[in-house]
Amino acid sequence: MNRQMLKLSLFGAAAIAVAFAPAKAASFNCAHAILAAEEAICGNHNLSRLDEQTAGMYFLIVGSGAPQATMSEVKASQRKFIEQRNACGANIDCLVDAYTSQIMFLKNVKSNLGL
């Protein structure tokens, strides 16, 4: 087999592996997505990245040993965010707005904690 054919074969195998690998956003497994918002996030690279960023900041704050009042505020905000996100359904603009708002809140908390 010449080099060109070998490259094409390897590329094809890699593409198949990627296509059948279960997608995963940071906060949930896309194989278990049932809500329209979750399916939209799993099907959109930019929304998936926003999900990863939001979850990453949330878990950083939760694991930081922040004061209890801050933790309660962050957890309440995250619950409200998830409700708002899910209420968006598959509306991309609504999902982006929900994520952007939560990311700004979490960035502010993170900054105030000196993280």
pLDDT tens-digit map of 44-56: 999 999 999 999 9
pLDDT of res. 54: 97
Residues whose CB is less than 8 angstroms from the CB of residue 87 and which lie 6 or more positions away in sequence, other chains included = 37, 94
| 67 belongs to a structural domain | yes
CB 37 within 8 A of CB 84: no
CA 51 to chain centre: 2
pLDDT band at 1; cut points 50, 70, 90: low
Q: Give pTM, 2 decimals.
A: 0.76
Local structure of residue 1 (DSSP, 8 states): -
For 31, the domain range is: 24-113
Q: Residue 15 pLDDT more than 60? A: no
pLDDT band at 90; cut points 50, 70, 90: very high
| 7 belongs to a structural domain | no
| 16 belongs to a structural domain | no
What's the half-sphere exposure (Cβ side, CA atoms, 13 Å) at 99? 21
Looking at the 3D structure of the chain, how many domains does it have? Answer: 1
pLDDT band at 72; cut points 50, 70, 90: very high
Degrees to nearest 5, angle at CA 71 with 104 and 69: 110
